[in-house]
Amino acid sequence: MAMEVGAIVEGKVEGITNFGAFVRLESGETGMVHISEVADSYVKDINEHLKIGQTVKVRVMKNDAENGRLSLSIRRAQPVKAPTAPPVPAWNKPARPASNASFDDLMSRFMKDSEERQQDVRRHSNKKRGSSFGRGK
């Protein structure tokens, strides 16, 4: 019986190698799960994820009936997780003004922040200039 590509079936792990695991399906056919198809994360040692005799769900990825080879995937048989956006760092969040702030309040706050930043830049550049030219001690 030829397995349909994309089908999700159960099977038992029959053998484990350095490059993957051999799984016997309910239909009696044996296929291979490559080490890269075992889990979503990096798999250094397949024995940490699978044991001989373990029942697993697999998706049929490729069926080469001519050579009798089935390519299987455990990680692609799992339900798809919805992607989540990474959290925005605090320094990258836009400052939210108070909803009752007027334009003049916002502008004066901007000018104050801008002046403080300019002073920091001037102090920093004066320190650099003073140390690089030497002031005759």
Is the pLDDT at 132 greater than 70? The verdict is no
At residue 116, φ and ψ (nearest 5 deg) are -65, -40
Q: What pLDDT is stored for residue 21 in this prediction?
A: 95
Q: Does residue 108 sit within a domain? A: yes
Range of the domain at 119: 99-131
Which tokens go with 11? 């099977």
72, 13: one domain = yes
One domain, residues 61 and 104: no
Which residue is listed with tokens 């009752």?
100
Confidence band for 46, pLDDT divided at 50, 70 and 90: very high
Residue 120 lies in a domain: yes
Q: For residues 58 and 77, is the Cβ–Cβ distance under 8 A?
A: yes
Distance CA 110, CA 94 (A): 13
As a whole number, mean pLDDT of residues 12-20 equals: 94
Per DSSP bridges, beta strands 69-73 and 30-34 are parallel
* 8-state DSSP, 72: E
Q: 91 in a domain, yes or no?
A: no
In a domain, 28, yes or no: yes
Judgement on whether residues 70 and 127 belong to the same structural domain of the protein: no
Determine the pLDDT at residue 103: 84
Domain shared by 22 and 64, yes or no: yes
Residues 72 and 115 in one domain: no
Q: How many domains does the chain have?
A: 2
Residues 13 and 73 in one domain: yes
Q: Tell me whether residue 137 is in a domain.
A: no
The per-residue pLDDT of the chain, averaged, comes to: 84
